[in-house]
């Protein structure tokens, strides 16, 4: 299938584009009334994510409504632990919760490296349906959590400010931590390859909790597994978004991937200097900037675009869009990227 809009793929590969492509992390759902309408007919997030027709429908909503340059498959990073044998619940207003967690060698032994075409087939089916329905309008992004972020949830059992239970294992039983990270990494590689096989045009790794580690531990327990995953995936461009990992930007510049995501704490010019010119950068407007007026959103967006410059940039926020942001503000962000970046490139 020939893509009608492949800006994001060309930008990822470092080719010149007529304008800067734009999408938003967590664009599917949450902010859209059209999403909530579908979601409220069901028992909850998990039913929606495991029903391929509906997952495909909410994946496409932001393309129709927000006019972004890419779709991201509607799913969650936590489908991976579930497929490995650790089911989760999504508690309304509180987030994910795992009734069982991983604490011992025996717990790790019980986990499987699943066959994604069996245990995660509902995601692959959602990808196929989405691709057919998109009919080449925009590329589809597949994704997975980075192994360390998945490890955090599997050991801690829920979200946390510090993930102290999970991080404790890095000090008390580092070997055990590596055994678990090994299984997650193996699962993630086959899962991403299956997403690509099903039609994903680009994949992103979310290391949402990278920023809670000291730099040495980040290298040992997170970065090296990300590197392994990037090296194993050769089929499509890869994006690595490690939130808070400002201390690892130099190494990020050497990763076998095309794009590095920046959060909003990272200075744009400094990041470019540290990461070097061989990577596309993605980001990084503060999600809270979208609480401003439409004019303020446009101003902040233009400032961001000026700092990144006209090439090797994929516009996005510095993290996922917050649930109470008005769709009109997101539209102002998207519109400004398109209009202003087209002028920058003239
Ligand atoms: O980007 C997209 O729009 C695609 C779908 C997507 C979801 N989760 C759907 C979702 C993606 C890419 C994710 C990734 C994800 N999930 C991450 C990494 C990105 C990040 O934000 O750092 C993490 C850490 C999770 C785990 C998770 N899932 C949490 C902590 C929560 C609860 C809080 C929240 O963000 O809403 C979820 C639930 C979740 N995942 C929802 C959606 C649409 C809300 C569920 C609902 O509709 O009730």
Residue at token pair 């931590």: 177
Q: What's the confidence (pLDDT) of residue 92?
A: 86
> Cα separation of 320 and 241, whole Å?
11
- Cα of 277 vs centre of ligand 1, distance in Å, is 31
| pLDDT, mean of residues 97-111 | 98
pTM of this prediction?
0.97
- Cα of 196 vs centre of ligand 1, distance in Å, is 21
Please list every protein residue whose CB sits less than 6 Å from any atom of ligand 1: 25-30, 39, 45, 72, 74-78, 90, 95-96, 143, 159, 206, 208, 320
> Cα separation of 67 and 27, whole Å?
11
Q: Is the dihedral of CA 56, 62, 63, 68 positive or negative?
A: negative
- 26 an active-site residue? yes
Q: Report residue 131: phi and psi, to 5°.
A: -60, -45
The yes-or-no verdict on residue 345 having pLDDT over 80 is no
Closest C-alpha to ligand 1, atom 45: 45
Closest C-alpha to ligand 1, atom 39: 76
Closest C-alpha to ligand 1, atom 5: 74
The yes-or-no verdict on residue 299 having pLDDT over 90 is yes
Q: Report residue 184: phi and psi, to 5°.
A: -65, -40
Q: Which residues 6+ apart lie within 8 Å of 316 measured at CB? A: 22, 23, 24, 25, 261, 282, 283, 284, 285
From 76, 267, 286, 299, active-site residue:
76
| pLDDT, mean of residues 106-134 | 98
For 256-287, how does the pLDDT look when each residue is reduced to its tens digit (9 = 90+)? 999 999 999 999 999 999 999 999 999 999 99
CB contact at 8 A, 270 and 281: no
Closest C-alpha to ligand 1, atom 22: 208
From 26, 36, 137, 335, active-site residue:
26
- 267 an active-site residue? no
Q: What's the confidence (pLDDT) of residue 93?
A: 85
For 204-240, how does the pLDDT look when each residue is reduced to its tens digit (9 = 90+)? 999 999 999 999 999 999 999 999 999 999 999 999 9
- Cα of 214 vs centre of ligand 1, distance in Å, is 25
Indicate left, alpha or beta for 213 from its phi (over 0: left) and psi (-120 to 50: alpha).
Answer: beta
- Cα of 127 vs centre of ligand 1, distance in Å, is 17
Q: What's the confidence (pLDDT) of residue 346?
A: 67
% pLDDT > 70, the chain: 100
The structural domains of the chain, with segments of one domain joined by +, span 7-345
| Domain spanning 7-345, CATH architecture | Alpha-Beta Barrel (3.20)
Mean pLDDT, rounded, of the chain: 97
Closest C-alpha to ligand 1, atom 23: 77
Mutate to test the pocket of ligand 1, among 23, 24, 27, 29 (most ligand atoms within 8 A of CB): 29
- 224 an active-site residue? no
Q: What's the confidence (pLDDT) of residue 174?
A: 98
| pLDDT, mean of residues 147-172 | 98
From 35, 88, 153, 225, active-site residue:
153
- Other Cβ atoms closer than 10 A to 338: 18
């Amino acid at each position: 299938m020939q893509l009608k809009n492949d800006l994001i793929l060309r930008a990822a590969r470092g080719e010149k584009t007529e304008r800067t492509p734009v999408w938003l992390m967590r664009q599917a759902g949450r902010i859209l009334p059209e999403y909530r309408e579908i979601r409220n007919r069901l028992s909850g997030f998990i039913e929606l994510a495991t029903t391929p027709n509906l997952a495909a429908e909410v994946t496409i909503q932001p393309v129709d409504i927000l006019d972004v340059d890419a779709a991201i498959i509607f799913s969650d990073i936590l489908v991976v632990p579930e497929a490995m044998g650790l089911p989760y619940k999504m508690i309304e207003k509180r987030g994910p919760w795992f009734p069982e967690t991983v604490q011992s060698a025996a717990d790790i032994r019980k986990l499987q490296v699943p066959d994604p075409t069996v245990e995660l087939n509902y995601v692959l089916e959602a990808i196929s349906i989405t691709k057919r329905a998109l009919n080449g309008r925009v590329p589809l992004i597949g994704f997975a959590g980075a192994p360390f972020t998945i490890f955090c949830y599997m050991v801690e059992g829920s979200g946390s400010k510090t993930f102290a239970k999970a991080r404790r294992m890095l000090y008390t039983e580092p070997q055990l931590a590596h055994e678990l990270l090994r299984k997650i990494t193996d699962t993630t590689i086959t899962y991403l390859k299956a997403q690509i096989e099903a039609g994903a045009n680009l994949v992103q790794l979310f290391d949402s909790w990278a920023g809670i580690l000291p730099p040495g531990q980040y290298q040992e327990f997170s970065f090296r597994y990300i590197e392994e995953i990037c090296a194993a995936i050769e089929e499509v461009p890869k994006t690595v978004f490690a939130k808070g990992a400002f201390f690892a930007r130099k190494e990020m510049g050497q990763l076998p991937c095309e794009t590095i995501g920046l959060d909003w704490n990272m200075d744009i010019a400094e990041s470019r200097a540290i990461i070097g010119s061989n990577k596309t950068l993605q980001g990084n407007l503060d999600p809270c900037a979208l609480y401003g007026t439409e004019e303020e959103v446009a101003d902040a967006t233009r400032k961001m675009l000026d700092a990144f410059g006209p090439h090797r940039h994929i516009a996005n926020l510095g993290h996922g869009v917050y649930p109470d942001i008005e769709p009109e503000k997101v539209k102002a962000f998207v519109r400004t990227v398109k209009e202003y970046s087209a002028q920058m490139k003239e």
